[in-house]
Structure 1
Amino acid sequence: MVYSWMALYLEDPVVVPVYSAEGEKTGETRLPDAFRVPVRVDLIRRVFLSEFTMRLQPKGRDPRAGKRTTARSLGAHHGVARVPRIRGSLRAAFAPMTVGGRLAHPPRVEKRIHEEVNRREKILGTMSALAATAKPDLVRARGHVFTAETVPVVVDSSVLEAVTKTKEAVSLLEKLGIYSDVERAREKTRVRAGKGKRRGRRLKKPKSILFIVEDHESPFARAVKGLPGVDVAEPRVVSVLELAPGGVPGRLTLITTGALQQLAERFRVTLP
């Protein structure tokens, strides 16, 4: 799969080193051709909005909300405002500007909140977000802090099999030169302003490292899930939501060699 506009802007093949458990280079690997797709920020944001709004639940109001009352207007020539008043008193009700009255423009169930996107646009947007993870300038511009020479950081799958505890994972990330980004996320975690802090979302946490591994339930995945701002995803389901949170491309990513093969199978493209 290749498009006319894509052929004009294709990048050269990307070759990155493969690291061992000691943070040393053990070889090199060529990233799948999906990493050569040009970075289209507009397409990434469109696909992100489509996938983000897909998770939103439609909501609405009871058609009779604020209307269950005996309030009726007294009409003119009574020396009071002509707002609906509860029978037997002068307390106003029913009208939008009264206490306990109906909403003037309540949310509607039939409102369209999901932004549709074409299937090919979604595929290209995901590949474009994947290609942005291999651009050090975009990764740094997104705010990530790291000392690794190249991104994404590729680690042999056998290395992660021996990591079962969080302190072992932290030691590995320090050797790879990317643990400083986790510390940045921890330091910049803050209390949310407003009422959201008492609605189950008290803290705002920056995004740090994305781990793309073969199994998100592996011992290594469970060891790193508790780190600040960390996300773990499998190559067959990783999306723009993880690759470009907020629609901003260039997330710091660690990928295993096995996950790279699955990404190549998922995004089969024919590039010159």
Structure 2
Amino acid sequence: MEIPVYDLRGKPFKTMPLPPVFEAPIRPDVIRRAVVALQTHRIQPQGRDPMAGKRTTARFIGTGYGISRIPRVKGERYPAAMRGAFAVGTVGGRRGHPPVVEKRVWKKVNVKERRLAIRSAIAATANREIVKKRGHVVDDVPTLPLVVADRFEKIDKTRRVVWVLKRLRLWPDVERAKGRKKVRAGKGKMRGRRYKKAKGPLIVVADDSAIRRAAQNLPGVDVVAVRNLNVELLAPGTHPGRLTLWTEPAIRQLGGLFR
């Protein structure tokens, strides 16, 4: 199957063969499993002090006093004497089953599953119905997958990137992402996750040295070299079908990476 390649003015000037990876079966369940596994590798292990609640002289004093059988602070004639301590249900006592740093917080995914997931995510970027269902503005986008000439990778000015995105009818989706920055509900906003931001177009290139600097400040836009492509970039939040702009050299490399 042949796909058109667009120049920087948004006009098709030649065609190129579409890599077979775009015809892979689309498996949302496998994509979700792979993305969640990637996300778990960013979790920081946490635990509690093993001695928390145990630094006390409390001991079990025995029965026959008409009081509950919990460890009590030793001593007499001072406020803390005979006060319950150490046990789980007492003030200042230890915690029952606290989190420990030894817990394995990350998830594994089978090698073949991971490969299927990224192939499925790539194929989903070429399905207009799935891309539109994800929320992207694709009504005026000429073709999917959208491929641009290799000169796009040499752009090092943001205003030039904006100009090309407008010619390729991708700018409305950047505007959509720009208008969907919201303050997160809940305590996450106190933990370094204050804003929820929409994802816009993904730009996949062969060499990201110049274009990355030019596009890094555009809201919702990510730039990645095709060799560093992963399933989370293609399906943020486990939802496949991200609007993706490919460069001609990236498509050529893609055919060699995913045969």
TM-score bracket for this pair, using the shorter chain length: 0.7 to 0.9
Partner residue in 2 for 1:8: none
- Is contact 1:156-1:256 (8 Å) kept? yes
Matched, 1:24 2:11: yes
Match of 2:41 among 54, 57, 63: 54
Matched, 1:170 2:162: yes
Q: Distance in 2 between matches of 1:69 and 1:182?
A: 59
Match of 1:156 among 127, 146, 149: 149
Which amino acid is the alignment partner of residue 243 of structure 1? Answer: L
Partner residue in 1 for 2:217: 226
- Is contact 1:215-1:221 (8 Å) kept? no
76 and 123 in structure 1: CA distance in 2 versus 1, 3 angstrom threshold: same
Give 1:139 shift. 0.4
Give 1:109 shift. 3.2
64 and 179 in structure 1: CA distance in 2 versus 1, 3 angstrom threshold: same
Give 1:52 shift. 2.2
Match of 1:143 among 122, 135, 138: 135
Deviation digits for residues 204-233 of structure 1, max 9, x if unmatched? 1111111111233x2221111112222221
TM-score of the superposition, structure 1-length normalised? 0.84
Give 1:83 shift. 4.2
Which amino acid is the alignment partner of residue 19 of structure 1? Answer: Y
187 and 85 in structure 1: CA distance in 2 versus 1, 3 angstrom threshold: farther
67 and 212 in structure 1: CA distance in 2 versus 1, 3 angstrom threshold: same
231 and 103 in structure 1: CA distance in 2 versus 1, 3 angstrom threshold: farther
- Corresponding pairs, count: 253
SS of aligned partner of 1:17:
strand
- Point out the structure with max Rg over C-alpha: 2
Deviation digits for residues 136-172 of structure 1, max 9, x if unmatched? 10001111113202223211111331x2222221121
Give 1:18 shift. 1.3
Superposition pairs of residues 205-224 of structure 1, within 5 angstroms: 205-216=197-208, 218-224=209-215
199 and 149 in structure 1: CA distance in 2 versus 1, 3 angstrom threshold: same
Give 1:75 shift. 5.2
92 and 195 in structure 1: CA distance in 2 versus 1, 3 angstrom threshold: farther
Q: Distance in 2 between matches of 1:191 and 1:213?
A: 32
Partner residue in 2 for 1:109: 101
Partner residue in 1 for 2:27: 40
Q: Distance in 2 between matches of 1:101 and 1:204?
A: 38
Superposition pairs of residues 129-140 of structure 1, within 5 angstroms: 129-140=121-132
Give 1:111 shift. 2.7
**The 10-residue stretch of structure 1 (169-178 or 73-82) with the greater mean CA deviation from structure 2:** 73-82
Give 1:91 shift. 5.0
78 and 145 in structure 1: CA distance in 2 versus 1, 3 angstrom threshold: farther
20 and 70 in structure 1: CA distance in 2 versus 1, 3 angstrom threshold: same
TM-score of the superposition, structure 2-length normalised? 0.88
Q: Distance in 2 between matches of 1:130 and 1:227?
A: 23
SS of aligned partner of 2:164:
helix
SS of aligned partner of 2:131:
helix
Identity %: 49
Which amino acid is the alignment partner of residue 261 of structure 1? Answer: R
- Is contact 1:182-1:228 (8 Å) kept? yes
Q: Distance in 2 between matches of 1:73 and 1:175?
A: 79
Q: Distance in 1 between matches of 2:73 and 2:207?
A: 63
Partner residue in 1 for 2:53: 66
Give unpaired runs (5+ residues) of structure 1: 1-12
Across the aligned residues of Structure 1 and Structure 2, the Cα RMSD in angstroms comes to: 2.1
